[in-house]
Amino acid sequence: MAAMGMSKNRLEAFSDGVIAIIVTIMVLELKIPHESSWLALAPLIPKLLGYLLSFVIVAIMWVNHHHVMHPVESVDNRLLWANNVMLFWMSLIPFATGYMSEHYLSPEPVAVYGIDMTLCGLSFTCFRLAAGKRYPRSKTSQPLTFKDISSSILYLASIPLAFVSTYVSFAIFAGVALRYLLPKPEKQENPGA
Amino acid sequence: MAAMGMSKNRLEAFSDGVIAIIVTIMVLELKIPHESSWLALAPLIPKLLGYLLSFVIVAIMWVNHHHVMHPVESVDNRLLWANNVMLFWMSLIPFATGYMSEHYLSPEPVAVYGIDMTLCGLSFTCFRLAAGKRYPRSKTSQPLTFKDISSSILYLASIPLAFVSTYVSFAIFAGVALRYLLPKPEKQENPGA
Amino acid sequence: MAAMGMSKNRLEAFSDGVIAIIVTIMVLELKIPHESSWLALAPLIPKLLGYLLSFVIVAIMWVNHHHVMHPVESVDNRLLWANNVMLFWMSLIPFATGYMSEHYLSPEPVAVYGIDMTLCGLSFTCFRLAAGKRYPRSKTSQPLTFKDISSSILYLASIPLAFVSTYVSFAIFAGVALRYLLPKPEKQENPGA
Amino acid sequence: MAAMGMSKNRLEAFSDGVIAIIVTIMVLELKIPHESSWLALAPLIPKLLGYLLSFVIVAIMWVNHHHVMHPVESVDNRLLWANNVMLFWMSLIPFATGYMSEHYLSPEPVAVYGIDMTLCGLSFTCFRLAAGKRYPRSKTSQPLTFKDISSSILYLASIPLAFVSTYVSFAIFAGVALRYLLPKPEKQENPGA
């Protein structure tokens, strides 16, 4: 039952499907208020911000998923299950987002979000390693990047720091996302890329 | 982590997935009545009309998304994130639809719908601009169209007008949708198209 | 904004996405019982049967959607919107199924299901007509089939008949589905097919 | 209305969509706790474990679905409906998972899970048989495998055994999944594979 011959297209299509649903069910946490006033919308603001944060993080992971898969031609068992493990942790993002958004001043829910982010980051790194092992000479799927490792460490730090102040953890979540969004601050890493 | 080389197919597949889910989760707002009579269905009529409106708007955006992507061959970072921003605002349509449908006589929920429509319209125009910048000579992806700009202005007007009468805003939402549905009233814009 | 050039692939992918979600959200109506006994599962039996019925109907529509699209190469505005109208009525199947399953002895919910089935059937016929107009010489997309027309008429009859007995309507729903499932009772219609 | 000519791509895309949604809606069972403490998360642990189990099982079925489809070039009616029957039983996994996770010490919910697993296993075997009948000389789609048959028998045994101890059934569910996950304990079956 080895996964040799699994074409990359179907793995991408399945991952795209799961990621698209993850993104969209997060929106279901925005419960419709029973009253029709601007004031009734105020409690939704932290939920909307939490949704925005997770939307951006999932979108970045989707973009990077593509970059890792780009040089891959066929998928072996290791890469397939590294992908599935990553999707598992990503599928918990809606839960973690909803929990954090509802209790954004309490350390435990923010730590839960940090735990899930750490596991998403680590499993993404494993996924990249699995792709790098399969296609070692490919430039885009370098087995380890400084950005990914430091992001995982920052996410890990966000867990205890939530008990200092949840805003420190929020700053980490937002900062890591911005680092991937902003155009190439790590130019020196990829000369000629 | 530049998005060069992102094939257009995967961006389309991901967008299709998100849009398909957006369309379908709007239906979940049609809660099943506890009583089995025609009368019990009456409160669902505004919800059904709201769903119909948003279904048509999302379907139009999906069709136009295709037209903008048609000449595109590969996707750069700008186009990729313009697409993601548009999907973000589109993903709020189920919330805005549900809120408006539940309080269709109150100005605030209708204004919320107008705000989301404005942001969908503007982000769609940015998306078109990003595609036009990448493929400037392509005919179908003209950077700016009169229809898109005027639609955004109409949507913007619907926000304050909801406080005059919500029916004025409904007329704008329906009118803008019809303008895209009816076969070519803007023939003079695209001679020879 | 004419839809010329819309490739059939993207219309199929979008329709597949919507249909896959329709099928799967029907399952959400099977609420988990709070008690753990066989007796607690008894009220779920009509819901499970309703789900089975709608699953089969949606699956048949999906298969026939494929057959209609098979000879199609590119999509024009008429075919595109005929498809969207059909998806709209299909997207109400989860609601109609849930309502009917909860009140399977009451005529109104069963009539609602019959109404949605009639609209699904008619919009499917329009969809087939639109494909037939575009590819008139194609054999598989014959503009009108006896099976489709008679199914729509049977569905239409199920609406008033629900007020005689809901079981008559159930027999119609099941019978129409079986007609499509059983291997070719209409052999004489397609000689040499 | 025979399914000849149904391309394998569309069957795969539809199945991928349904499976992706099945995986993701299971997460919706993880309800967000109203309190923000580690203690409030404790009741979620069995639900998380149940989700993990079903995630792995669905992922294995998805991988094996691919292997069965690999040599298939076009789809006939038998294979198409064998696939749909399998998707039907798979679509009940979120319900069975939620029910079992909420009452993991009660035999009935665990037996319900075992029943659905048995039906998933049997329908997968039928699906494999249908593919094997269509492409009899293909190596990867051997009509019957010892692993699949014994898995179905084990699943069947888990139903009555749930009334002895639910942990015996859990051991069966986990054991069958591990058998598919671990790299090739059945090497002797596929010499030269």
How confident is the prediction along chain D (193 residues), in pLDDT tens digits per residue?
344 456 788 888 889 999 999 998 898 888 889 888 889 899 899 999 999 999 999 999 999 998 888 888 888 888 999 999 999 999 999 999 999 999 999 999 999 999 999 999 999 999 998 888 877 666 655 667 788 889 999 999 999 999 999 999 999 999 999 998 876 644 444 433 3
**Which chain A residues are Cβ-neighbours of D38 within 8 angstroms?**
108
Q: Which residues of B83-98 are buried (b: 16+ CB within 10 A; e: fewer)?
A: bbbbbbbbbbbbbbbb
The reported pLDDT for the residue numbered D190 is 43
Retrieve residue A155's tokens.
């996410």
The reported pLDDT for the residue numbered D3 is 42
Q: How confident is the prediction for chain C on average, in pLDDT?
A: 86
* Residue of B3, B28, B98 with shortest CB distance to A63: B3
Mean pLDDT of the region C83-98: 95
CA distance C43 to chain D (A): 14
Greatest extent of chain C over all pairs of C-alpha atoms, in Å? 59
Residue C92 has pLDDT above 70, yes or no: yes
* Inside any domain, residue D151: yes
Is the Cα torsion angle C185, C187, C190, C192 positive or negative in sign? positive
Cβ atoms < 10 Å from Cβ of A183: 9
Mean pLDDT of the region B134-143: 65
* Inside any domain, residue C130: yes
Tell me whether D184 touches chain A (CB under 8 Å). yes
Where are the alpha helices (H) located in D26-106, listed in sequence order? 38-41, 44-69, 77-91, 93-102
* Inside any domain, residue B33: no
* Inside any domain, residue C17: no
* Inside any domain, residue A193: no
Cα–Cα distance for residue pair D27/C28, rounded to 1 Å = 12
**Which chain B residues are Cβ-neighbours of C5 within 8 angstroms?**
67, 70, 140
State whether residue D153 is helix, strand or coil.
helix
Rg (CA), chain C: 18
Mean pLDDT of the region C68-84: 87
Tracing tokens 């109506």 back to the chain, one arrives at: C29
CA distance D29 to chain A (A): 10
* Residue of D14, D98, D102 with shortest CB distance to C62: D14
Distances (CA, A) of B69 to B16, B129, C35: 12, 12, 52
Distances (CA, A) of A166 to A101, A155, B76, B98: 11, 13, 35, 32
* Inside any domain, residue D137: yes
Cα–Cα distance for residue pair B147/A96, rounded to 1 Å = 41
**Which chain B residues are Cβ-neighbours of C10 within 8 angstroms?**
12, 16, 66
CB contact at 8 A, C73 and C138: no
* Residue of C21, C28, C32 with shortest CB distance to D102: C32
Retrieve residue B78's tokens.
């700008």
CB contact residues (below 8 A), chain C span 124-143, against chain D:
140
Cα–Cα distance for residue pair B67/D12, rounded to 1 Å = 26
Q: Give the domain range for residue B116.
A: 7-27+41-183
Cα–Cα distance for residue pair B34/A8, rounded to 1 Å = 47
Q: Which tens digit of pLDDT belongs to each residue from B71-109?
A: 888 888 889 999 999 999 999 999 999 999 999 999 999
Tell me whether D31 touches chain C (CB under 8 Å). no
Domain count, chain C: 1
* Inside any domain, residue C2: no
Residue of C7, C14, C21, C62 to mutate, interface with B, max B Cβ within 10 Å: C14
CB contact at 8 A, A23 and B91: yes
Q: Which tens digit of pLDDT belongs to each residue from C124-144?
A: 999 998 888 777 666 655 667
Contacts of B among chains (3+ CB pairs under 8 A)? A, C
- Closest-CA residue in chain D for A163? D37
Mean pLDDT of the region C94-98: 95
Cα–Cα distance for residue pair A2/C24, rounded to 1 Å = 29
Tell me whether D8 touches chain C (CB under 8 Å). no
CB contact at 8 A, D56 and D174: no
* Inside any domain, residue A192: no
The reported pLDDT for the residue numbered D8 is 83
Interchain contact, D2 vs C183, CB within 8 Å: yes
- Give pTM, 2 decimals: 0.89
- Confidence band, pLDDT 50/70/90 cuts, at residue A123: very high
DSSP annotation of A6: E
Alpha-carbon dihedral of residues A157, A159, A165, A171, nearest 10 degrees?
60
Q: Label the pairing between strands D6-7 and D74-75.
A: antiparallel
